[in-house]
A and B are shown apart, each in its own frame.
Chain A
Amino acid sequence: MPAEGMGIDLNPGSRGAMAAKMLDVSDAPWVRADSLVVAHRLRLWYSVKRGLFSKPIYVKAVDDVSLSVARGETLAVVGESGSGKTTLGRTLIRLLRPTGGDLIFDGRDVASSDESELRRWFRRRVSIVFQDPYSSLHPYHSIGFILEEPLIIHGVPKGERMERVYKALEEVKLTPPEDFVNKYPHMLSGGQRQRVAIARATILNPDFIVADEPVSMLDVSVRVEILTLLKEVQKRYNVAFLYITHDISTAKYFSDNIAIMYAGKLVEYGPFRSVVKEPAHPYTQALIEAIPDPDPKNRLRPRKVAPGEPPNLANPPSGCRFHPRCPFAMDICRKEEPPMVEVRPGVYTACWLYK
């Protein structure tokens, strides 16, 4: 746990080294402690009370997750609903407060900071793009105000603001910007709204953007355009991305590394191509197997699918959470949670098959 003495940061650089020394990530060798974003044994447990007087039960949405994202890099976080990937994304930018574990951003502790502190230095360096272009923009705000809002909040002087708004609109190819500034979200298509959301996320030149299923609600022919736009943004501003999705195929075009989540836990991690080509964890294998490529021969045979459904996060299975559905389940899988081990250079997985 990063120690005392967390006052005003006069020298962030040295702080980073200091924090890295303090933060011991030796139990998670896939985590690079000097990265821009470092999460170590991060936990987010929701407490749910059944009734007014009963004991609360915990929904372990994110349970002991460690990962890191370096500057300019994209980490894809893949999982099904209930895997905890959405919660993880929100926790990394402190829309949610972690219940345990460490979260370091650019060397500074973020997990235990309170909101007013975060507002001073953290908020302008991270942002988020949401899945639903229809509800992530306030229906009563003009596009101009939507883009101006972050600038106003962070005290950008009035003269500079409109210039930056126009520039942001041009960068996402919503031209001519003068036209769009006075429009309202209901006048734009889904793809256009998502571009506005991206423009809003980038207008303060952040270092880290969480993209939560940014294209899954868009038409197929529009997805590629938006993904291309995200790649351009990344290149131009050297932004680190956390790309959350349930569709690995889109992640292929926009990710360096991939982390697979199941029932709140990290089950596999490694460079994207390597993991997808040779998935180590049975769940990853099942996930990849379940995704069809466009091939007319698909209809001639059934697809291999893992039976069952993801577990209830309030009461997950004992031991390895995937064991009820795993074709390779062994005795030990039912009893003990497997640790993450390196399967091949750079690829880590939590499965007793590889101990």
Chain B
Amino acid sequence: MAARREFRILGMTPGEIWRGFVSTTTGKIALAFFSIMVAFSIYALVALPPNFGNLWNTPSYWQANPKYAPPAWINFFTGDAYAPQMAVRDFNFTAGSSGGVGYAVIQFAVDDSYAHPWRNLYVIVRSPAVYNASTVAYLTVERPDGRTVQLGPVSVNSQFVALGLSPQIISQVNSFYQSNFGVQNAVPAGSSAIPYLFYTARGGDLVPLKGTYRFTITMYSFSGSTVLNRKDLGIVLEGEVYGLMGTDFLGHDLWLGLLAGFPIDLAVGILTAAIVVTLAILIGIVAAFYGGLVDEVLTRITDFFILLPAFPLLIVFSVLFQWSIWDAIVFLAAVSWGGSARVIRAMVMQIKSSQFIESALAAGAGRGWILRNHILPMVMPYTLYLFVVNVPGGILTLSAINFFNLAGAELPTWGNILAYADEFGALTSGYWWWVVPPGLLITFVAVTFIFVAMGLEPVVNPRLRHA
């Protein structure tokens, strides 16, 4: 008898809901923020290598980065005081072998105009043949003040050679200062010698010497005539500052880490919220609406889930079953809906004997119609609140999980970055770039969803509309 009924939910067609949402300023802002997040997430998925998670946890990948380095753009405010990370690309390269000895000569120049010069010099030799072949390197530095420092030999026996902490080089720099300036023990114990290449002594104090420095690195390989290829060589000057977002204790490029966090955190937040909200609404409404035995059973199940000790179980299960981060998140979300379901059930029990529902029944409305158009609208405001709370909640829960090394501690999520920052005392040590950006991003996600909820509020609750 009923011809095709049009689909209405909350008493409106889906088109009306959308139009209502985007018509307000709040809705437009929410849409904008949300689009930004999605855009960054897509960019992250596209720009970062797919195994980025693994890379994040491979310390050797980040070796060349400075540790605890602030972002490079602070130089705007400090007047270029800090030497930036520099991967030297512009170098003269000659290589060959003579008399059973392979050699390579690398020459380059850098302009040092910084109050805080580079911390270390890395030579990266990506050819196992070379570094397995008793290779040594000599370094000559021509300083702007005319003096020359001769350093070496340093054994090149691995892919990654850090020159600064080599005892040979440290003592050679010390003797340079001794003989040229009469300064004893110029390089403090345990420090890298490289910065001191860029200093001079003036009246007993060490001050930076600005100007052009020319470097010549000569490498000799003594066993076999292995010749180094230019493309296998990397020269990196470790800077005082690094990149867009600085680095952490391991030299992670935080910009990449935060970027990688977008899709992960967004997905985790939305997934958590979606699971919690869906289960809470479903069980709350069904229990209250159908009543009787269904209600009894569902309420007992709800009670059971409320009483479950979520975190202890999570610890046990994640160790027992080697859970990935997704397993952990789904588990936590699946046990957190209890309290909300109870609230929704209470709301629906109150509503279901309302006279407007009796009117609809008298007019011939079916159960589905009543659920969609009469009950759901009354539950929506609370649902919006649930969503807003659970998205950032999910992200922070995730970070708590990471913190306890339960699951996914290896992923570059914002919570993780924050967890490590906390562990390493970033805030008290003044490493603000490690603490503030991840916190801000979590806040941004929360704010975005708050705006979404605010934009939807007048749509679901007509009393709040301006008209």
Complex contact B356–A136 (CB within 8 A): yes
User: Is B358 in the interface zone, CB < 8 Å from A?
Assistant: yes
Q: How far apart sit A124 and B365, CA to CA, in the bound complex (Å)?
A: 11
Q: How far apart sit A137 and B374, CA to CA, in the bound complex (Å)?
A: 10
Q: Which of A118, A140, A149 contacts B10 (CB 8 A)?
A: A140
User: Is A292 in the interface zone, CB < 8 Å from B?
Assistant: no
Given known A153-B5, A182-B467, contact A142–B462 (CB-CB < 8 A): yes
Instruction: Give the number of residue pairs across the A-B interface with Cβ within 8 Å.
Output: 93
Q: Which of B359, B365, B462 contacts A140 (CB 8 A)?
A: B462
User: Is A78 in the interface zone, CB < 8 Å from B?
Assistant: no
Given known A126-B362, A142-B11, A149-B363, contact A157–B3 (CB-CB < 8 A): yes
User: Is A280 in the interface zone, CB < 8 Å from B?
Assistant: no
Complex contact B355–A153 (CB within 8 A): no
Q: How far apart sit A142 and B460, CA to CA, in the bound complex (Å)?
A: 11
Complex contact B6–A138 (CB within 8 A): no
Interface residues of A in 56-99 (CB under 8 A from B): 90, 93, 95
Range class of the A interface residue count: 35 or more
User: Is A132 in the interface zone, CB < 8 Å from B?
Assistant: yes
Cβ contacts A288-305/B at 8 Å (1 or 0 each): 000000000000000000
Given known A120-B1, A130-B358, A138-B356, contact A152–B8 (CB-CB < 8 A): yes
Q: Which of B12, B362, B373 contacts A127 (CB 8 A)?
A: B362
- Residues from chain B with Cβ under 8 Å of A136 in the complex: 355-356, 358-359
Complex contact A153–B359 (CB within 8 A): no
Complex contact B11–A138 (CB within 8 A): yes
Q: Which of A90, A124, A184 contacts B463 (CB 8 A)?
A: A184
User: Is A128 in the interface zone, CB < 8 Å from B?
Assistant: yes
Q: How far apart sit A282 and B289, CA to CA, in the bound complex (Å)?
A: 44
Given known A120-B1, A140-B11, contact A154–B374 (CB-CB < 8 A): no
- Residues from chain A with Cβ under 8 Å of B462 in the complex: 139-142, 184, 186
User: Is B461 in the interface zone, CB < 8 Å from A?
Assistant: yes
Q: Which of A118, A120, A145 contacts B11 (CB 8 A)?
A: A145
Cβ contacts A138-179/B at 8 Å (1 or 0 each): 111110010001101111011000000000000000000000
Complex contact B358–A128 (CB within 8 A): yes
User: Is A135 in the interface zone, CB < 8 Å from B?
Assistant: yes
User: Is B360 in the interface zone, CB < 8 Å from A?
Assistant: yes
Q: Which of B356, B366, B373 contacts A137 (CB 8 A)?
A: B356
Complex contact B463–A154 (CB within 8 A): no
Complex contact B359–A155 (CB within 8 A): no
Q: A88 to chain B: closest CB distance in Å? A: 15
Complex contact B2–A155 (CB within 8 A): yes
- Residues from chain A with Cβ under 8 Å of B11 in the complex: 138, 140-142, 145
User: Is A273 in the interface zone, CB < 8 Å from B?
Assistant: no
User: Is B354 in the interface zone, CB < 8 Å from A?
Assistant: yes
User: Is B331 in the interface zone, CB < 8 Å from A?
Assistant: no
User: Is A119 in the interface zone, CB < 8 Å from B?
Assistant: yes
Among B1, B3, B355, B366, residue most surrounded by chain A Cβ atoms (within 10 Å): B355
Range class of the B interface residue count: 20 to 34
- Residues from chain A with Cβ under 8 Å of B48 in the complex: none
User: Is A200 in the interface zone, CB < 8 Å from B?
Assistant: yes
Chain B residue nearest to A204 (CB atoms) is B363
User: Is B377 in the interface zone, CB < 8 Å from A?
Assistant: yes
Q: Which of B3, B365, B373, B465 contacts A155 (CB 8 A)?
A: B3
Chain A residue nearest to B351 (CB atoms) is A138
- Residues from chain B with Cβ under 8 Å of A325 in the complex: none
Chain B residue nearest to A116 (CB atoms) is B366
Q: How far apart sit A155 and B363, CA to CA, in the bound complex (Å)?
A: 12
Chain A residue nearest to B359 (CB atoms) is A136
User: Is B369 in the interface zone, CB < 8 Å from A?
Assistant: yes
Complex contact B6–A158 (CB within 8 A): yes
- Residues from chain B with Cβ under 8 Å of A126 in the complex: 362
Chain A residue nearest to B465 (CB atoms) is A184
Complex contact A124–B2 (CB within 8 A): no
Q: A159 to chain B: closest CB distance in Å? A: 12
Given known A119-B366, A127-B363, A184-B462, contact A138–B377 (CB-CB < 8 A): yes
User: Is A231 in the interface zone, CB < 8 Å from B?
Assistant: no
- Residues from chain B with Cβ under 8 Å of A90 in the complex: 358
User: Is A334 in the interface zone, CB < 8 Å from B?
Assistant: no
Complex contact B356–A119 (CB within 8 A): no
User: Is B86 in the interface zone, CB < 8 Å from A?
Assistant: no
- Residues from chain A with Cβ under 8 Å of B362 in the complex: 93, 95, 123, 126-128
Q: How far apart sit A184 and B465, CA to CA, in the bound complex (Å)?
A: 10
Complex contact B360–A149 (CB within 8 A): yes
Complex contact A123–B467 (CB within 8 A): no
Cβ contacts A104-136/B at 8 Å (1 or 0 each): 000000000000001111011011101010011
Complex contact B358–A149 (CB within 8 A): no
Q: B295 to chain A: closest CB distance in Å? A: 14
User: Is B378 in the interface zone, CB < 8 Å from A?
Assistant: yes
CB pairs A–B below 8 angstroms (14 shown): A123-B362, A123-B363, A128-B359, A135-B354, A135-B356, A136-B356, A139-B462, A140-B377, A140-B462, A145-B11, A150-B364, A154-B1, A184-B462, A197-B359
New A-B pairs, 8, CB < 8 Å, besides A121-B1, A141-B373, A149-B373: A95-B362, A119-B364, A128-B358, A128-B359, A128-B362, A153-B363, A154-B2, A182-B467
Q: 7 tightest A-B contacts by CB? A: A123-B364, A155-B3, A155-B2, A136-B355, A150-B363, A138-B356, A140-B377
